[in-house]
Amino acid sequence: MVLVGTCLGVGIIELGVRMLPPNAAAQTLFNAHEDAPAGLYMNDHKVAFRPTPGFQGSMKSLGYEVDIRVNELGLRGPAVQRDPRPVWLALGDSFTFAAQVPEEQSFVGLLGEELDVQLLNGGSDGHGTHHELARFRQLEKALSPEVVLVVFFTGNDFQNNVHWRSSLAGAKKRPDQEAPRAQSKPPLRSFLNRNSFLWGMVQMQIRARSFADASKPEVQGLRGDMSIFHGSGEQVLQDGIEATRTPMQGLRDRVQRRGGQLMVAVASPAYAVEDHRTKATFELVGLDLAGQDLDAPEGAVLELLEDLEIPGCALDSDLREAYAQGERPYLAFDGHWSASGHRVVAKTLSTCLSEQGFGGQEASKQGLTRQP
């Protein structure tokens, strides 16, 4: 009776917690990446890491459970075959791979359907511009895409570009195409991480308390990374732009040599779009809210793109408008785009592509298509 009563009590609390909004800084406090299925990614001596060809599994975390499949080229989605429709390729990080929503609900699936093109998903968690350039080199011969669409995420792409060499060097210390060893976690903890909102709330509270010690390397690191959205981070942002210039120019040149077109969309983290998250996230790492400059990273990337003569597309404005209208374009715990956010992004990208003359090419006779 005690056991049954305890289980019922915990169940009632769990249901109640699910009705409450999580900590507004949840995208920083909740480690959603810990829920990634084992074997989804593999080591690569040229790209550092990328999705494992032939992988099939599911991504489950608080608020979603999604089936994931990776084809023979390491692209999210089904196998490819010859087809007359134009081939387009999307590159980017986890916002492009979009493990939080089904394929057809991602901006890649929505935009490909709307434009009647084969928009293939070459995204990968943790990729920056250097990774994307290396990935394009791997895929260009097999796909010869007419359009390459890159999503630059200001939340961590700068850091990924700064640390590219160390990332690649680390990969070369391990066997090529080897799947990383899965971290050993108690089964109960893994279950709770993926299923219990109560457990998630408790873990975030514990982690939030650890941020009270500003001397901790984790806190200092996050503060430095987030400072680009604050007046105190001008030099950090400039360093990130300089680390991005060379691979972005290399990607432009590589795509153009293949006869394709390149567009770069610029996306920001949840705390730079949904204002109820801004205060909580800034306070978490000790940044003064009065010094916020949320548009600085997006503006800096757009200036770089203009300097390199690469068409750009700003996503933040429409995401903010959707948020102001009552939508939630970012997931509460995870911090990636929700299905609503992907719809907004697909619509914005469609407009940018149309306004800048993309999508008017004749269908390729040597194209590829995704098979259902």
Q: Write the pLDDT tens digit of every residue in 68-107.
A: 999 999 999 998 888 888 999 999 999 999 999 999 999 9
Average per-residue pLDDT for the chain: 88
> Residue 269 above 90 pLDDT?
yes
Cα 175 to the center of its chain, rounded Å:
26
Average pLDDT (246-261) is 97
DSSP-based three-state secondary structure for 225: helix
Nearest to 350 by CA among 263, 272, 269, 256: 263
- Span 31-46, average pLDDT: 83
pLDDT at 348 over 90: yes
pLDDT computed for residue 368 by the predictor: 38
pLDDT value for 367:
37
- The pLDDT tens digits for 122-171 are 999 999 999 999 999 999 999 999 999 999 999 999 999 999 999 999 99
Single out the residue of 101, 175, 165, 103 nearest to residue 134, CA to CA. 165
| Chain centre to alpha carbon of residue 347 | 18
209 located within any domain: yes
What is the spatial distance between Cα 146 and Cα 358, in angstroms, rounded to a whole number? 10
Structural domain contains residue 177: yes
> Domain tally for the chain?
1
pLDDT-above-90 percentage for the chain: 67
Look up the domain containing 245 and give its range.
2-356
Confidence of residue 214 (pLDDT cuts 50, 70, 90): confident
**368 in any annotated domain:** no
Q: Evaluate whether residue 75 is within a structural domain.
A: yes
Closest CA to 92 of 62, 123, 118, 71: 123
Q: Is residue 362 part of a domain?
A: no
- pLDDT reported for residue 190: 72
Compute the chain's Rg from CA coordinates: 21
**Are 305 and 311 in contact, with CB atoms under 8 Å apart?**
yes
Is residue 80 in some structural domain?
yes
pLDDT of residue 182: 57
Which pTM value belongs to this model?
0.91
* 53 Cβ neighbours under 8 A, 6+ residues apart: 70, 71, 72, 73, 74
User: Is 333 a domain residue?
Assistant: yes
The more confidently predicted of residues 273 and 4 is 273
Cα–Cα distance list, 195 to 46, 165, 209, 213, 243 (Å): 36, 37, 23, 30, 39
- What CATH number corresponds to the domain at position 104? 3.40.50.1110
Q: What is the dihedral of CA 352, 354, 355, 356, to 10 degrees?
A: 80
In a domain, 21, yes or no: yes
Q: What is the mean pLDDT of residues 13-38?
A: 70
